[in-house]
Amino acid sequence: MTFRLDGKVALIFGAGSCGPGWGNGKAAAVAYARAGASVVAVDLDIGRADETQSIIEQEGGSCLALKADVTQAGEIKAAVAKTMAAHSKIDILHNNVGIDGMGNLIELSESDWNHVIATNLTGVFLICKHVLPAMIQQKSGVITNISSVASLSVRSAELIGYNVTKAGLNHLTRTLAVGYANKGIRANAILPGLMNTPMIYQVRELMMQYESEEAMVRARDAQSPTGKMGDAWDVANAAVFLASDEAKYINGVMLPVDGGLSCVTG
Ligand SMILES: NC(=O)c1ccc[n+]([C@@H]2O[C@H](COP(=O)([O-])OP(=O)(O)OC[C@H]3O[C@@H](n4cnc5c(N)ncnc54)[C@H](O)[C@@H]3O)[C@@H](O)[C@H]2O)c1
């Protein structure tokens, strides 16, 4: 069975990749396009959105690249308006943006705390606020929020802002799922575990825990019950399934994509 999205419009926030290779947002955008959807790739960094657009177009798909910062309500509103002007509907909303905001409760500054909340939580609130009216009018829509297994258990107290915002994102997702199910709208979250994406090589505090990149990869692989980290395609393929009509009765689910890690850590 293939989970086709022909004729659907997918709006992805954080659709670039934060480094060379495949991050979760870029892979999701390309996977939606490969399944037949027209993609709108939004990113804070327009160069990253442009890269996603060119990959999709080279494969014969359709993609519009837009610049928007999810901490800025006006930029979100403009991106949604441009999507509606181009396609007149939004079938799939994929919220991929998430920053780590390293620091424990004492170390994390108030402004960094506010920034991680603005990015990981208020950003999704604002995006949904602007996209939901179109979905309500259409009487259909799928929202997929990218959370983390850090929303379920505290793997690191040095990630207080991240842990708290991802836990909040889970409940925002459940509340959306309950609130709009009778309007034909589904909302689910994907909870990636330890993934081998460009992001892990860019977080200085993460890298500093290990003597080399190879040591970090070995340590992260060893923590997974499978003996290997996942990758961005594991998240992207789950998102395509959740967006498809085959998942039409799946609503309010927090789906770990973690090789079983959360069965061990809770
Ligand atoms: N990589 C992992 O191991 C892992 C594990 C668990 C959860 N996640 C979640 O996956 C998501 C990100 O995936 P990734 O780590 O592969 O990164 P990614 O490579 O998908 O990059 C995220 C993109 O978001 C963009 N972005 C950042 N701030 C933004 C803002 N304010 N407005 C608009 N765009 C912005 C960046 O420019 C980048 O292109 C996050 O929600 C993260 O919490 C990742």
Residue 52 lies in a domain: yes
Residue 185 lies in a domain: yes
Task: Determine the distance separating the centroid of ligand 1 and the alpha carbon of 46, expressed in angstroms.
Answer: 14
Residue 144 Cβ inside 6 Å of ligand 1? The answer reads: no
Residue 112 lies in a domain: yes
**Number of domains the chain contains:** 1
Nearest to 94 by CA among 182, 7, 26: 26
Distance CA 187, CA 26 (A): 21
Give me the catalytic one of 162, 180, 201, 210: 162
Residue 148 Cβ inside 6 Å of ligand 1? The answer reads: yes
Residue ranges making up the domain that contains 103: 9-198+231-255
Nearest to 261 by CA among 234, 236, 241: 234
Q: What is the pLDDT along the chain (266 residues), one digit of tens a residue?
A: 567 999 999 999 999 999 999 999 999 999 999 999 999 999 999 999 999 999 999 999 999 999 999 999 999 999 999 999 999 999 999 999 999 988 899 999 999 999 999 999 999 999 999 999 999 999 999 999 999 999 999 988 999 999 999 999 999 999 999 999 999 999 999 999 999 999 999 877 777 888 999 999 999 999 999 999 999 999 999 999 999 999 999 999 999 999 999 999 87
Q: pLDDT at position 1, please?
A: 59
Residue 101 Cβ inside 6 Å of ligand 1? The answer reads: no
Q: pLDDT at position 3, please?
A: 75
Task: Determine the distance separating the centroid of ligand 1 and the alpha carbon of 221, expressed in angstroms.
Answer: 20
Residues 56/29, Cβ–Cβ less than 8 Å: yes
What Å distances lie between residue 117 and 20, 144, 163, 166, CA to CA?
27, 18, 10, 9
Q: Tell me, what CATH number does 179's domain have?
A: 3.40.50.720
- 162 has catalytic annotation: yes
Residue 164 Cβ inside 6 Å of ligand 1? The answer reads: no
Atom of ligand 1 nearest to the CA of 199: 15
